[in-house]
Amino acid sequence: MCGIAGVLICRGGTPSTDGLVRRMLGMIRHRGPDQFGIYQSADVAFGNARLSILDLNTGQQPIGNEDQTLWIVYNGEVFNYLELRAELQTRGHRFATASDTEVILHLYEEYGPDCLERLNGQFAIAIWDEKDRSLFLARDRLGVRPLFYTQLEGTLVFGSEIKAILAHPEVRAELDPVALDQIFTYWSTLSPRTCFRGIVELPPGHYLVAREGQVRVTPYWCLAFPEDGEALEGAADRLTDDFVEELRALLVDATRLRLRADVPVGAYLSGGLDSSTIAAIIRTLGVSQLDTFSIAFTDSQFDESEYQRWMARFLGTEHHVVLATHEDIGRVFPDVVWHTETPIMRTSPAPMFLLSKLVCDRRYKVVLTGEGADEFLAGYDIFKESKVRRFWAQQPDSAWRPLLLKRLYPDISRLGASGAGFLKAFFGNGLTDVDRPDYSHTVRWQNNRRTCRFFSEELKNKVALEQDETDNHPTFPPEMPRWNPLARAQYCEISIFLSQYLLSSQGDRPAMAHSVEGRFPFLDYRVVEFCNRLPARLKLRALTEKYLLRRVAESWLPPEIVRRPKRPYRAPIHRSFFHARTPDYVREVLGETALKGTGLFNPSAVAHLVAKLDGGKALGETDDMALVGMLSTQLVNRLFVESPRARSPLSAEDDIKVVERRCFP
């Protein structure tokens, strides 16, 4: 795991220096504090901040091929590198290292961009071709590892994090009003947009080729489901036990590959089905010593430590716990925002930030987690909500069908006590529009939009002026109407929430803030493609989520965990910022002076919300989201727009020792 950054000189650009790349790497040295390397030629300068996990002795980047016409820097892991290496050796390729990085380079030399289809991993890649003067950038299928870029006059600047790009003296940080509107609606921007104007992400499953001043972005993988009525070949005639065995075999192999490392590997253990399954598989693979890590909360509404301890005892792991208090979450929140580089609508990344620090303190660099099971095996209540609403839509005037919704969202305490009138009003909007591709998410997104009432008139006007039709709504594939309803709901959740928020703000960023790499067996592309082809009944059976995974886990886990209902991971919001020791920054960034300075939010509306909290009143779900959204937006503006380089961890260029590799034609 690493961080990469670089500059490509296109037509008329100013030649880069290694000093610039040093500054860029300095901004992301938390991603890879072990080694630093820079490659420079007349047209390109790029570098790598390395977190050494594989080939500790000879895996230093950048790496060149045999004749040094191709050079690579890379962030991530390719888990099937040993198999690919053996194949490449039979084709005559010679290796100078034992790293997966060099495998990618030779694979690219052999197959060009088509090499990406053969990689099983999580990665962001940059390869420079000296022969045709081209730069190749690529990102893994689901966007586990980030990669951003911007185009200046004659220059392309890229990096694993936006703060590396902002280290370029010609890049200016400016918040994008349309992006803010998207974040307050969808909890994230819509790819490839970021919250900064002119800085975009390379979308998941895409690669970029820059040559002779032209930049072309091409997809190589897309999220797909079979047309309605279709699934795995012969699915209708296959027994459920056959699917159980196939998923079990895939998960075991995905986990086996992700244990490949030259450093110790641990696991997150939440006490739920997904992480417990992965930890149990690790045990079945003969790992004698396994350290597990989890979050406990002093707030009992969010705490699952009882199940975590139980599973740790059951699996016989050495278990470590970080206790997250309201004060802890509020204290680290500015640091979390510095690493997420975007406004967030939840405080959930903050405890993950604390957890990764615990992992780092225990001298671990790698952890396996259960991320992805909920998305690909239908674990979230939003999938059940969509199913119930479709059932209700068949008889819109029914008095009892909407009552099924009371069985959902246990984290929203008042929902279970609500009457039919409230349920109809809340969930009935657009009830009969069942043919909409985003039918499953309309209630959530419309409810989220209520947070936009805190926008200032100035921000609302900018959004209206700059927004076009493509900004108002996600783009869906043309074949989506032919998918079954669950597949459509999964696409909405995976393409936006998983890739844009969960794997980034709650995944990569809090972990890499403390140089910790997360690995996700459920996101192995073979597991993903298998799950996408499954019949809907094997994922969501009636209102039982992750039915097939529960069957798989029966042989590994106690019945109490297998049968345990999904409990979404969440963290307290308003109580983390307004308590006896409210952090100074909270009132400062939400004060009238700061709000008028940014011009983003309505000071009187914010003051009313703060007064409500000062009066000891609790906030509802929407106001909680609005609070953390406004706090994080104000902090993003302060950290990146007002003083973008003040937080650089690199105080002087000679503070970073670099192995330099140069090539001048």
Do 314 and 361 sit in the same domain of this protein?
A: yes
- The residue with tokens 């029966």 is 554
Looking at 72-86, 416-430, 649-663, which range is the least confident one?
649-663
Q: Are 332 and 350 contained in the same domain?
A: yes
Compute the distance between CA of residue 644 and CA of residue 630 in angstroms, rounded to an integer: 19
**How many Å apart are CA 379 and CA 650, to the nearest integer?**
42
In a domain, residue 52? The reply is yes
Q: Clarify whether residues 356 and 442 are in a common domain.
A: no
Distance CA 330, CA 546 (A): 34
Tell me, yes or no, whether 84 and 197 share the same domain: yes
Instruction: Quick: pLDDT tens for 76-107.
Output: 999 999 999 999 999 999 999 999 999 999 99
Taking a C-beta distance cutoff of 8 angstroms, is the pair 374, 566 a contact? Answer: yes
Domain boundary among 458, 491, 524: 491
Q: What is the pLDDT of residue 663?
A: 43
* Residues 383-397 pLDDT 10s: 999 999 999 999 999
The CATH number given to whatever domain includes residue 195 is 3.60.20.10
Both 202 and 100 in one domain: the answer is: yes
The residues near 631 (Cβ < 8 Å, ≥ 6 apart) are 333, 577, 586, 589, 590
Q: Mean pLDDT of all residues in the chain?
A: 92
- Rounded to whole angstroms, the Cα distance separating 562 from 591 reads 48
Residue type, 416: G
One domain, residues 539 and 445: no
Mean pLDDT, range 244-248, rounded to an integer: 97
pLDDT digits (tens, 9 = 90+) for 568-584: 899 999 999 998 789 99
| Half-sphere exposure in the Cβ direction for 504 (13 Å, CA) | 31
Whether 17 and 103 map to the same domain: the answer is: yes
Within-domain flag for 425: yes
User: What pLDDT, on the 0 to 100 scale, is given for residue 393?
Assistant: 96
Give the pLDDT score at 409.
83
Q: What confidence tens digit (pLDDT) does each residue in 505-516 have?
A: 999 999 999 999
Q: Which of 156, 191, 221 is the last residue of a domain?
A: 221
Q: Write the pLDDT tens digit of every residue in 487-511.
A: 999 999 999 999 899 999 999 999 9
The two beta strands, 35-40 and 63-64, are: unpaired
Asked which of 517, 542, 562 is the last residue of a domain, the reply is: 562
Domain for residue 664, yes or no? Answer: no
Cβ(132)–Cβ(211) under 8 Å?
yes
- Contact status, residue 557 vs residue 405, Cβ threshold 8 Å: no
Q: What is the pLDDT of residues 318-329, one digit of tens each?
A: 999 999 999 999
Domain of 297: which CATH number? Answer: 3.40.50.620
Where are the strands (E) in 406-532, listed by range? 517-519
Could you read off the pLDDT of 254-263 as tens digits, one per residue?
999 999 999 9
- Would you state the pLDDT for residue 647? 46
CA torsion sign for 509, 511, 512, 513 is positive
Could you tell me if 66 and 158 lie in one domain?
A: yes
Q: Nearest 5°: phi and psi at 294?
A: -150, 170
pLDDT reported for residue 586? 97
The C-alpha atoms of residue 36 and residue 106 are separated, in whole angstroms, by 22
The number of residues in the chain equals: 665
The tens digit of pLDDT for each residue in 397-416 reads 998 999 899 888 876 656 65
The answer to the question of residue 459 being in a domain is no
> Could you tell me if 331 and 303 are in contact, meaning their C-beta atoms sit under 8 angstroms apart?
no
What pLDDT digit, counting tens, does each position of 101-139 carry? 999 999 999 999 999 999 999 999 999 999 999 999 999
Residue with the bigger pLDDT between 652 and 248: it is: 248
Distance CA 80, CA 120 (A): 6
pLDDT at 119: 98
Instruction: Note whether 295 and 429 are same-domain residues.
Output: no
Q: Residue 458 is inside which H or E element, if any?
A: helix 457-466
The answer to whether position 648 is within a domain reads no
- The structure tokens listed for 217 are 């972005």
For the entire predicted model, the pTM comes to 0.95
pLDDT band at 644 (very low <50, low <70, confident <90, very high): low
Residues 275 and 269 sit within 8 Å (Cβ to Cβ): yes
Spatial contact of 118 and 84, defined as CB atoms under 8 Å apart: yes
**Do 487 and 510 sit in the same domain of this protein?**
no
Q: Is the pLDDT assigned to residue 648 strictly greater than 50?
A: no
pLDDT on residue 44: 93
Residue 602 to residues 202, 540, 577, 596: CA-CA distances in angstroms? Answer: 33, 43, 19, 8
Query: Where in the sequence is the domain holding 408, given as residue range(s)?
Result: 381-450+472-491
Tell me what pLDDT residue 413 has: 58
Asked if 251 and 392 sit in the same domain, the reply is no
The answer to whether the beta carbons of residues 44 and 128 sit under 8 Å apart is yes
User: What is the helix (H) or strand (E) element at residue 139, kind and residue range?
Assistant: strand 134-139
Region of poorest pLDDT, from 9-13, 131-135, 638-642: 9-13
Q: Is residue 604 part of a domain?
A: yes
Checking if the pLDDT of 425 tops 90, the result is no
The answer to the question of residue 274 being in a domain is yes
Same domain, 37 and 182: yes
Pairing of strands 291-297, 366-368: unpaired
Phi, psi of 13, deg, nearest 5: -80, 165
**Confidence label for 8 from pLDDT (cuts 50, 70 and 90):** very high
Per-residue pLDDT at 14: 61
Total count of domains within the chain:
4
Rounded to the nearest 10 degrees, how much is the dihedral formed by the CA atoms of 72, 77, 83, 87? -10
Phi and psi at 538, nearest 5°, equal: -85, -10
Whether residue 272 lies inside any domain: the answer is: yes
